[in-house]
Chains A and B, each alone.
Chain A
Amino acid sequence: MTNQELIAKLKAIVSPYIQDEEAFKNLSEDTDFVKDLKINSANLVDIILDIEDEFDIRLENEDMEKMLDVKSAMAIVNTKLAG
C-alpha cells in the first residue's frame, strides 16, 4: 500500500468524527487529530477500533499512546502490517 492509499483510508476512517471541515479537506501527514480536526478524545477510541477493523490488526497500549496525528497512525499501521 502506498502512503497516498494509506492516507486515503485513514481519511475515510476519521471522517465521521471530525469537527473542522477545512482542516479535514487539507488533511496530510502533518494533520493532528485533536488540534487540527478537533476530534473529541472519546472518539479517538472509535478511530483506533476502526483502524483495527479496517487493517485487521490489534493496537496495544503503547500504540494507542501515540495515536494523535496522521503521521503516527501511518507509522503504527505500517509497522503492524509489516510484522
Chain B
Amino acid sequence: MVGNDIVDIAQAKKDSNWQRPRFLDKIFTINEQYLIHNSKDKTEMVWRLWSMKEAAYKLCIQLNPNRFYAPRQFKCFIENDAGVVKFKNFSCYTETKTTSDYIISEASLKPSKLSSEIVKFNSLRINNQSEILRRKLILSASKLHHIIEGKLELKKDDYGIPALVVNDNKMHISLTHHGNFGAFAIA
C-alpha cells in the first residue's frame, strides 16, 4: 500500500498564504512550526510537511477506511528526505522529493524509495487532469503487471479511496494532483 501527495510550489504560493494568522497553528504541531521557522526556505518546509501529512493520511485511510480532516494530528518527524508520520496508533515512513517546481511525498508501511511517476499537465482544467492521470496510471499498471489496459478499471469507494480493479482483484494505488503536476503510485 502507498499514499502520495504532490504540491505545485507556484500554485501553492498563489492559492495559500501560510503566513495568515492561525494558519500554521491549525495544521502543524509546535515541533513542526519550530522546524518551519528554523528553515532556510520556510515555504518549502511548510509544503514538505503538508505533503507528508497528506501522503500519510491517504495511506492511513486505506488501512482504516474513513474520511476526516485532521492534519495537525499527523505528526511529522524528518531526517533529510526521509521521514516518519504518526497518527494515533498508525505510523508510516515517508520519502520526499523536492524540485524547484514541486514537492512530492510518498508514504509506505516500510521504508521505501519514492516510486511515484510524475505527470506534468498542459491543461489546468481539473477534469482533464484527472482523465490524463487515469490514462497514464492504467497504461503504467498494464505494463507493470502484463494486463490488458481494457481490463483495468479505476474505481473510488464511498470514502473516495481509489483502486485499480482487475476482474475482482483490487490493486492499491495512490493518485495526487495539484496545479500543473500530478503523480500516481502503484503499490
Contact = CB atoms under 8 A, between A and B. Distances in A.
Interface of A: 17, 19-20, 34-35, 38, 40-46, 48-49, 52, 61, 64-68
B126 A43 contact: no
Nearest to B126: A19
A45 B70 contact: no
Contacts of A61: 70, 72-73
A64 B15 contact: no
B50 A42 contact: yes
A46 B73 contact: no
Interface string B8-48: 00001001100011110011000000000000000000000
A65 B23 contact: no
A68 B69 contact: yes
18 contacts: A19-B126, A20-B126, A35-B160, A41-B54, A41-B69, A42-B12, A42-B16, A43-B15, A43-B16, A44-B69, A45-B23, A45-B26, A45-B27, A49-B20, A49-B22, A49-B26, A66-B69, A68-B68
A42 B15 contact: yes
Contacts of A52: 22
Contacts of B27: 45
Contacts of B69: 41, 44, 64-68
A66 B68 contact: yes
A35 B12 CA distance: 20
Interface residues of B, number: 22
A34 to B, nearest CB: 7
B70 A65 contact: yes
A66 to B, nearest CB: 7
A50 to B, nearest CB: 10
Contacts of B120: none
Contact of A46 (B12, B16, B54, B72): B16
A45 B28 CA distance: 11
Nearest to B156: A35
A46 to B, nearest CB: 7
Contacts of B21: 49
A55 to B, nearest CB: 14
Interface string B62-94: 000001111111000000000000000000000
